[in-house]
Amino acid sequence: MRFPQLKIGQQFEYQGKRYTKTGPLTASVEGTGASAMIRRSAEVVLVDGEVAVPSAAQLKQNYSRQEMLDLCRDYRLKLHHELKQMAVEEGGLELGTVLRVIDNTFGNS
């Protein structure tokens, strides 16, 4: 796969070294944390356990109204779960405010 197909935070191997993507053209070297520029054309290999991001050609292009509603509901539920977990792990978060924003954006179902 090519470097631009990675999401920020994904770990990959390139030219015998392990990196974590930190930006559109940057990554940090595992172990040292040194920043490195990675070419857009660079062929990289995902580290075991990482999930590849589908290319634009692999993504579904048309969704029914119900599919869109289901996707939004699932995304809202995932956000709720992850924010609650983050609040517990970090010992606090303006969770009520964040959840209200999500609910106002996606609606309650």
Q: How would you classify residue 33: left for phi > 0, otherwise alpha for psi between -120 and 50, otherwise beta?
A: left
CB-count exposure of residue 19 (10 Å: 0-12, 13-18, 19+)? buried
Most confident of 18-27, 56-65, 92-101: 18-27
Which tens digits make up the pLDDT trace of 87-103? 777 777 777 767 776 67
Distance from C-alpha of 107 to C-alpha of 100, rounded to nearest angstrom: 10
- Distance, first Cα to last Cα, the chain: 38
Which tens digits make up the pLDDT trace of 4-15? 989 888 899 999
**Percentage helix, strand, coil for the chain under 3-state DSSP, each rounded to 5:** 40, 20, 40
| Of 109, 102, 46, 49, nearest in space to 76 by CA | 102
